[in-house]
Structure 1
Amino acid sequence: MTASVLLRPAPPATAFLRDELLADRTSTLTRLYQRTFPMVRRHVLERGGTTQDAKDVFQDALVVFYEKTVSGRLILTCSPGTYLVGVCRHLWQQELSRRNRLPLSELGEAEEQLPDFAEAPATESAPALAVLDYVAKLGEKCQHILLSFYYFQQPLEQIAAENNYGSVRSATVQKFKCLERLRKAVRQALALPSAR
């Protein structure tokens, strides 16, 4: 029994871990990644995620871990790997809850509901809409995403890579948010003439 206790390393002190991170961040985080990521990947895959989802969750957890450790706000009562797995489980549960509230199929349905302004006839009560004018009023990132997808017909995989998103789903959600901002701006513009 004593031998098994001696083989199991004790969790490093938080101050020692902080010193390791400050001295050689890359090496310390790489070690943590190699030891911990397989457990996180298994957890995410067993609960309907992908390896990319696991990487995204682990990266977020690693940022939280690093910032808390370096700032001195983290007090470990377990090994760093156990702490990271716990944070990842929590983050994955949050992601699953978010996905259940807004399933991917709803994003596609919302796009179908967007009227086709190119075919809308110009009348005095509903002036011809220059959609690009409204797109130009969006932020630079939204402009890029919407034009890339709708005008240049780039695949979401390419848009995700160009904008440094962790997954295609992140790019899809961002595209949907930008589309909603565009729709809101157009609705407000259409409401203004009738309010006069």
Structure 2
Amino acid sequence: MKLSKTYSENSILDDIKAGGSQLNKALGFMYSSYYGLLESIILKNSGNEDDAADVIQDTFLAFVKMVQDGRFRKEAGVKSMLYSIVRNLWITEIRKRKSTQNRHEIFEQGNDVEVEGVSVEIEKIENQKLILSLFESIGKKCKSILISFYYENLSMKDIMEKEDFSSEQVLRNKKYKCLKSLIEKVNGNVILAKSVKNALQND
């Protein structure tokens, strides 16, 4: 897709808010314009191309969510915001992999754009990944119900029809059992339980 050189940041934001084909246009522009820069951040700091692809995908998803939720207030430009998000996501991943502090000390102390909401969005991403992995462990039907309710924001009526339940009450009973199973998975782990609670509240 050939994109105009006059595609402004305001146009990017407007298209993201519009959704649909306009959102795809904005994402296409951001991928073609910023992917190389964002990838270089990962590659220069112990990551590989697969790492970069995963983190950049999460970065764009986080940015789109911020714009659509009205939490991007233009305190930084689009490019700076994407840089900040990808950098913080990669630092989080590095820490998760228990890399040595000295190896990444310069990277973690580098200059960065302080933007309100970035750390919140990163926490959401991490919590969502945790939740989805837990959903996998409680069965296919439970996973489908909970994703439909918490992530797709479907009504109980819509989920009932989608999952072929005989009534909303039967569905509510099943959802309750699914959540009970989820709670049992994290029972006794305060940190894990808190992350689960935060993820479900955020969505």
TM-score bracket, normalised by the shorter chain, equals 0.3 to 0.5
User: RCO greater where, 1 or 2, for CA within 8 Å and sep 6 or more?
Assistant: 1
TM-score, L = length of structure 2: 0.42
Instruction: Normalising by structure 1, report the TM-score.
Output: 0.43
Larger Rg belongs to? 1
